[in-house]
Structure 1
């Protein structure tokens, strides 16, 4: 796709989305945020997310003197209202923060955990002795629900770096849940896609399928139960979620799923107890860090595989001058680098509390240089490729490699990401999720939020040698990749995306587009995508195949269109980013088209 075509697509999508939303609910009659602008430039602070109401919540906090952390939590809470099938307090995520005063990047691992009573055969149907069908059986079950970490993440972030309390930052989301938001096409389509699953549960179907149908596009959707839950949390804090009545209700929902009598879904029971909730704790840890083309790129350390896999890929690509190549050749290098990094991800990465993850090795320049020896600039390797040797490496080309690893991919695409920068230069990159679109499909009765099905990210069949095997108390491996880039120690870019295991490639390809291929951040996000995760075929968007398919097939790549159970809309990822230039100007950037388009806002728009 040419750069003028990218600009035209972004502008056309922004105009179409804005006019369509405004016609559904006239701005003069109702001040709800409906217009979506994929690019916003200015100063005073910026927010990028998938939803205008959520981005507006963050901007409201910034305008009232809050910092990036305050605004990020406010945006995330609002996404729990307007994007309830992708995020919410029933899930988890990874929070990354750059402190402008100290120059330090910090992270919070708020990933869900397996219950203490989680058995190794939790995903095996006792009636047949075989694994449950992944969809719809396993994804719609109590067995897949992990102990949620989102609310604990919000509180820890506010305690560590925020300037406002939970009550203040929840206010915009409470208002949105009470007053309602305007239903768009994406919300209606996602509801209908999950109709059978939602119909299995009385509270879920009552809220999202009133009268047996999804809410109409242009109608106002309210969630009074969630507003009441947020008010409870604003008053009493996270203890009201992790202890007492609500905690017991969560445990009861998981262990005795409240399903309708006429559903034919089995809905296996899960294992969470009130004690699991009381015992939940986030993990604070150092980020991963690599240097790429003179920039410092910080990522999320395990239990996420995002930081190690993106970092290793960049270290491999550092050995080649992509900017001097024709685009197909640069893309060939990008695809081959990710295949190599994904091989190491599958072999070595899991929850470091249970697995000895060689994080330093995987992100070291020396290891990356040695892995680059396996990248043939003229020809695609036969996939899957073998992992590297993390015990013996010297940056020189090894004589041979080991055997390929068969990795299961059960991560789902329905996640969300937000990026925030404030007036002081503090920066947040935050990815959060409930996994499947609609999570487990189970709503805690009377509480207004869906529970995750995050434990499906574990390997289905237990293998003691698998770093992502099921273990009690363990965090399943994730591909969520909140990323922060510094230039000469100063903030340059906060970026991330949803997309299951394609999150890693989405963030990496956007970075390559921006840093190596000469695109501005809007173009880098809008450009067509492809994802190589050490598989025989490259998953690619139709526009990518049209633009580069023939040239890449000449390298030996096999491209297959996106559009399966993990990428049902034939699109990959949904980036939200904020860039800071060398003069401090802010550019908030989101998708112009994917997932209905995103929402970029700044406190003080440039004239």
Structure 2
């Protein structure tokens, strides 16, 4: 909480912005959106995100002398403007940072926490059955204590060179002047219009005149600009104990339900004490060796680091990294390893501050050997696979297979690097696309529905569930910001949105780039499949199912279910000649934006 104790901080570089009640520009005032490019190569640092405005703001911080941490916070705040349905100060996330000065990887856990009032049966009705999922999502009871403002403050205090005011100047200006609405923003608004109309503050911001902002119009959010100004002036204390926090608590406990809404909107029990108790925590990163490289990720309550790490270990132990292996054999082993790792994720991973999570065991080569021995190509293991026995040395089962539960498909990811060699991979979210659907009145941001990542009841009766609700507990996540080192120096940084599919996206990019001979742009653009150990089959994009590789996997017994789009990765690679290659999505989610400070061919 070091970043929130000052009553005021310097406002150097912060623009003086006027407050306006106009939320969106007129639909007729069509403008051109900034250009996007999926790859950029050069010197001086790089930023990759899903949005060109956000990427440019991060690059501007680097040009002004900021480092990768400063640029990451600025880019994240800008994404809170242009990607408000995926991230913002009303949510949380995980921040992974390679510190060039110390040569170490550090991680911050900014995951939301449950209020102290939420008990294990908090999502159950009087008859003992869970509330309908839609009732939980669109309510105050699903809102976790946000961790994003404290993550920004802690990251800057630990590894940045700029003040919070400095890095928020660009995002505040962006919120005030607005951004050009694209088809993705309009379609996401329309997809959520029915539930947005249930809350007066949300409808006023995102549905002016009853409709979503038109493509090409300018969307402005002066309330969010004022929120950023307040954070700049008062630090994160404005949120954790100050007037922003009071506004959040009031909204959670008494949601601004619109006139005429007849359904009961569940209220939450968040208090100012819950906000004051919040801390973005430094965690020991997960670490595995893969092909002579060091792969670092996020420890629990994220399952991303353990599951990506375990899958890589199983894949390598089963022979997946052998250079003579054919593409189909490699893909078969990759999917089998993912299913086994997901089985262990679902059974063993939760909030390690509340129960024992066997992180070291799950990411050990010894445990991988007890799982890889189940793989017998060309046969395919029937799904779902049972979890492994933690204390075993053979191929024994750890009990009945456990489903992973629901996790929203939204979220956003960014990567940054600077000229000094610092690198950041940062994934942040408000859970569902549109979060809880509730905008804090007068503050311009949506609240998360992150607590729906808890399982309302044990997935398997009689089997201990590590992901039930609890006071102060952090729900399990699949976010997987990852940094790969070669000989102690950064080689790659990657991450993605997509709920539980994040793990498959990051794991797939790593295997394709490190073992499959693909370049990083090729690995990011490649058709995706997300194997989650489900009897319903692995989620797969149409391009994967239509490929020779996909058809060969079907012939080998793999089962898939078609999913239009999986993830929206942002990545970078440090090249041997000193350049950095920034990579964003070429198509998914409308295409991303990669940029470098000094472009060079």
After TM superposition, where is structure 1 displaced by more than 3 Å over at least 4 residues in a row? Answer: none
Q: Deviations over 1:494-535 (max 9, x none)?
A: 110000001011000000110111110100000000111111
Equivalent residues in 2 for 1:490-501 (5 A)?
Answer: 490-501=489-500
CA distance change for structure 1 residues 352 and 402 in 2, over 3 Å: closer, same or farther? closer
Q: Within 2, Cα distance between the matches of 1:491 and 1:37?
A: 23
The alpha carbon displacement at 1:585 in A equals 1.3
Contact 2:343/2:402 (<8 A) preserved: no
Q: Within 1, Cα distance between the matches of 2:521 and 2:447?
A: 34
- Which residues of structure 1 form unaligned runs of 5+? 1-22, 27-32, 563-569
Contact 1:384/1:404 (<8 A) preserved: no
Contact 1:577/1:589 (<8 A) preserved: yes
2:436 corresponds to 1:440: yes
- Identify the range of structure 1 (488-497 vs 316-325) with the bigger mean alpha-carbon deviation: 316-325
CA distance change for structure 1 residues 264 and 598 in 2, over 3 Å: closer, same or farther? farther
Equivalent residues in 2 for 1:36-435 (5 A)?
Answer: 36-126=36-126, 129-134=128-133, 136-319=134-317, 320-322=319-321, 323-393=323-393, 397-398=394-395, 400-435=396-431
**Which SS does the other structure have where 2:239 is aligned?**
helix
Q: Deviations over 1:268-317 (max 9, x none)?
A: 11111111011111111110111101111001011101111011001111
Instruction: Report the aligned-residue RMSD.
Output: 1.4
Q: Deviations over 1:98-150 (max 9, x none)?
A: 01121100000000000000122222234x5421222x322111111000000
Contact 1:530/1:539 (<8 A) preserved: yes
Contact 2:403/2:534 (<8 A) preserved: no
Q: Within 2, Cα distance between the matches of 1:150 and 1:321?
A: 38
**Which SS does the other structure have where 1:284 is aligned?**
strand
- Structure 2 residue aligned with 1:581, among 575, 579, 594? 575
Q: Within 2, Cα distance between the matches of 1:408 and 1:533?
A: 8
**Which SS does the other structure have where 2:546 is aligned?**
helix
2:446 corresponds to 1:450: yes
Q: Within 1, Cα distance between the matches of 2:289 and 2:497?
A: 24
TM-score, L = length of structure 2: 0.92
Q: Within 2, Cα distance between the matches of 1:522 and 1:38?
A: 8
The alpha carbon displacement at 1:245 in A equals 2.4
Q: Within 1, Cα distance between the matches of 2:101 and 2:329?
A: 41
2:538 corresponds to 1:532: no
Q: Deviations over 1:209-248 (max 9, x none)?
A: 0011000000000000000010011000011111132212
Contact 2:42/2:597 (<8 A) preserved: yes
Q: Deviations over 1:564-603 (max 9, x none)?
A: xxxxxx1111100011012221100010000011000000
**Which SS does the other structure have where 1:43 is aligned?**
strand
Q: Within 2, Cα distance between the matches of 1:264 and 1:598?
A: 40
The alpha carbon displacement at 1:489 in A equals 0.7
CA distance change for structure 1 residues 491 and 408 in 2, over 3 Å: closer, same or farther? closer
Q: Within 2, Cα distance between the matches of 1:560 and 1:588?
A: 31
Counterpart in the other structure of 1:606: 600
- Identify the range of structure 1 (538-547 vs 460-469) with the bigger mean alpha-carbon deviation: 460-469
Q: Within 2, Cα distance between the matches of 1:532 and 1:141?
A: 31
Q: Within 1, Cα distance between the matches of 2:385 and 2:435?
A: 32
- Identify the range of structure 1 (430-439 vs 529-538) with the bigger mean alpha-carbon deviation: 529-538
Contact 1:290/1:311 (<8 A) preserved: yes
The alpha carbon displacement at 1:324 in A equals 2.6
**Which SS does the other structure have where 1:42 is aligned?**
strand
Contact 2:111/2:147 (<8 A) preserved: yes
Counterpart in the other structure of 2:551: 550
What is the aligned length?
A: 566
Counterpart in the other structure of 1:559: 560
The alpha carbon displacement at 1:264 in A equals 4.2
The alpha carbon displacement at 1:24 in A equals 5.5
Q: Within 2, Cα distance between the matches of 1:166 and 1:151?
A: 10
Counterpart in the other structure of 2:519: 520
Q: Within 1, Cα distance between the matches of 2:457 and 2:388?
A: 24
The alpha carbon displacement at 1:409 in A equals 2.1
- Identify the range of structure 1 (249-258 vs 43-52) with the bigger mean alpha-carbon deviation: 249-258
Counterpart in the other structure of 1:16: none
Q: Within 2, Cα distance between the matches of 1:251 and 1:363?
A: 39
Q: Within 2, Cα distance between the matches of 1:154 and 1:202?
A: 29
Q: Within 2, Cα distance between the matches of 1:421 and 1:100?
A: 10
Contact 2:386/2:402 (<8 A) preserved: no
Contact 1:435/1:454 (<8 A) preserved: yes
Contact 1:254/1:271 (<8 A) preserved: yes
- Which residues of structure 2 form unaligned runs of 5+? 1-28
Counterpart in the other structure of 1:25: 31
Q: Within 2, Cα distance between the matches of 1:173 and 1:101?
A: 28
Counterpart in the other structure of 1:592: 586
Counterpart in the other structure of 1:469: 468
The alpha carbon displacement at 1:553 in A equals 1.5
Counterpart in the other structure of 1:29: none
The alpha carbon displacement at 1:326 in A equals 2.6
Counterpart in the other structure of 2:15: none
The alpha carbon displacement at 1:266 in A equals 2.9
Q: Deviations over 1:366-424 (max 9, x none)?
A: 1112211011221111111111111233xxx43x3243322242101110000000010
Counterpart in the other structure of 1:10: none
